[in-house]
Amino acid sequence: MGSLKSKSSKGALLGCMAIALLLPACTTSTQTRGYVVDEDLMKAISPGVDNRNSVADMLGTPSIVSAFGNETWFYVSRDTVSRGFIEERPLTQTVVEVQFDDGGAVQNVKRYGLADAQEIDPVDNITPIRGKTLGFFEQLLRGIGRVGPAGPGGAGGPGGGRGPGGR
């Protein structure tokens, strides 16, 4: 009778452990990434009045700075939700675009939401490499013997493998 009781307690223990391991897969996680938008600060930016320095003082460092054309700063924020191992999905997304003129004064402030986001399909073409492409083991084995001992006079030390005094 004792063995039946120990088997049922072992089964209950295993069942509890299985539930404990699977329970995190049912939890929902919400995360905020990027700039946390402060509505009052956004409303305080005035085109023609504010400049780069005043915007940086109010909002901080931008998430992205444009690479072409007139300087434009972007402040990006995104809230996502995920359940267990399921891919996360966006709840909200806010992009604040601050455009500056050539003198550094604020020219325009725009705001975009999740509805304005566009799905992109990156091109997966690969740039060809001239010559032989080495595999992992070829690269690994090719490097054997090229590295000398470290320390004075060694390939890894001062003098790059030359003798005393760099000769």
What are the backbone dihedrals phi and psi of residue 57, each rounded to the nearest 5 degrees, phi first? -65, -40
Segment 119-159, tens digit of pLDDT: 888 888 887 777 677 777 877 777 776 666 666 655 554 55
Q: What is the mean pLDDT of residues 20-42?
A: 78
Q: pTM higher than 0.85 for the full model?
A: no
Residue 33 has pLDDT above 70, yes or no: yes
pLDDT at 137: 80
Q: What is the mean pLDDT of residues 22-45?
A: 80
pLDDT at 72: 94
pLDDT at 65: 93
How many angstroms separate the CA atoms of 98 and 52, rounded?
9
Segment 92-113, tens digit of pLDDT: 899 999 999 989 999 999 999 9
What percent of the chain stands above pLDDT 90?
26
pLDDT at 128: 73
Tokens of 135: 């595999």
| pLDDT-based confidence at residue 30 (cuts at 50, 70, 90) | confident
Report long-range pairs for 44-52 (Cβ below 8 Å, ≥24 apart): 45/98, 45/106, 45/109, 46/106, 47/105, 47/106, 47/107, 47/108, 47/109, 48/105, 48/106, 48/107, 49/105, 49/106, 50/105, 50/106, 51/100, 51/103, 51/104, 51/105, 51/106, 52/100, 52/104
